[in-house]
Amino acid sequence: MRILSGIQPSGRLHLGNYFGMMQPSIELQEKGEAFYFIADYHSLTSTFDPVILNQNVRDLALDFLACGLDPGKATFWRQSDVPEVTELAWILSCVTPMGMLERCVSYKDKIAQGIAPSHGLFAYPILQAADILIFDSNLVPVGKDQKQHLELTRDVAGKFNDRYGAGEEILVVPEPMIRDEAAVVPGLDGQKMSKSYDNTIELFEETEKKLRKKVMKIKTDSTPVEDPKDPEGSYLIDLYRLFSSPDEVEAMKESFRAGGQGYGHYKQQVFEAIRDHFAPFREKRESLLQDPSMVDQVLADGAERARAKARTVLDRVRSAVGM
């Protein structure tokens, strides 16, 4: 079973990235043949400074490796080091009806966020389909917000197979693995944690002081210190749950109901839980920074393995279409 997932290098990673994509991917590298890539082609729709793009790619690779991605178990590469994916994207675009792309909500959502409209932004789902299909991926973990893109990938693969397959499956039709709702991490304001909302807590804040300052900004109500507090729907408890045992979460809930503690007390607990969880990862990241060539070698080795697989699939596709 080949598992494929990718993440954009759009800036410093935050808790939403970690629980939404990174942690599940690290767990899945034990359960199948894991293929994970840094989606720098995709980031060209919103990142226009080459220096920033390169730094984002490097930071993402460092963060992923520090948090437990094992290059001995997972193939890990930079998307642009496998150019076969863009050739497949063009071929797939020739079998994809315009109506399919026009029904994708992500284009309108990104325009609404202020991203400049472009063909790349509109055709984004086709490149995403190529990312998946070029590696004969069997399983693709996605959040609910990406489910439509995976369905489009399945439809595009089906159309290609119908047109060129003559009864054979030239492109493997992938299956989705919908990520659990727990992966939706609340930001400082209670909305989904996202750079777009400027409400993130980074995995590796520059200092403990800055991390604590961020946590202390988490939105709460105005219930007095001495009064009981409702634990249901509390963003503090939602965050604490991600880093703590069920017993620890229940203890915080009981303390909420009992009253006598201010929200600052609970924010301190959340801060300590986040700090302690990422402490060993921070130490490993510092170690990786001492040997920059190691990260370069991991990405180069991953690209070599990824290209070998991509080449076999693209050769199959080129033969089918008459090239």
Collect contacts of 91-99 with beta carbons under 8 A, ≥24 apart.
91/160, 91/317, 91/318, 91/321, 92/126, 92/129, 92/130, 92/133, 92/156, 92/160, 93/123, 93/126, 95/156, 95/159, 95/160, 95/163, 96/126, 96/156, 96/159, 97/159
Q: Which of 133, 85, 65, 142 is nearest to 301 (CA)?
A: 65
Q: How far apart are CA 144 and CA 148, in angstroms?
A: 8
Q: What is the DSSP letter of 179?
A: P
At 20 the pLDDT is 87
Q: Which of 136, 194, 193 is nearest to 169 (CA)?
A: 136
Q: What is the pTM of this model?
A: 0.90
Mean pLDDT score of the chain, rounded to an integer?
92
Instruction: Give me the pLDDT at residue 131, please.
Output: 97
Instruction: With CA atoms as reference, report the closest residue to 307 among 96, 83, 88, 115.
Output: 83
208, 229, 189: which is closest to 271 by C-alpha? 208
Predicted local confidence at residue 195, as pLDDT? 85
Q: Enumerate long-range contacts of 151-155, CB under 8 Å, 24 or more apart.
A: 151/176, 152/100, 152/101, 152/104, 152/125, 153/125, 153/128, 153/129, 155/100
CATH class assigned to 2-185+292-321: alpha beta
Q: Which fold has domain 204-286?
A: Tyrosyl-Transfer RNA Synthetase (1.10.240)
* pLDDT at residue number 4: 95
Whole-number pLDDT of residue 177: 85
- Residues serving a catalytic function are 110, 192, 195
For the chain, 323 residues long, give each residue's pLDDT as a single digit of tens.
899 999 999 888 999 999 988 999 999 999 999 999 999 999 999 899 999 999 999 999 999 999 999 999 999 999 999 999 999 999 999 999 998 888 877 777 777 777 778 898 889 999 999 999 999 999 998 877 677 778 999 999 999 999 998 878 999 999 988 766 445 789 999 888 888 788 999 999 989 999 999 999 999 999 999 999 999 989 899 999 999 999 999 999 999 999 999 999 999 999 999 999 999 999 999 999 999 899 999 999 999 999 999 999 999 999 999 99
> So what's the pLDDT on residue 160?
96
Domain positions in the chain: 2-185+292-321, 204-286
Taking residue 12's Cβ as centre, other Cβ atoms within 10 Å add up to 18
Nearest-angstrom CA–CA distance, 219 and 222: 10
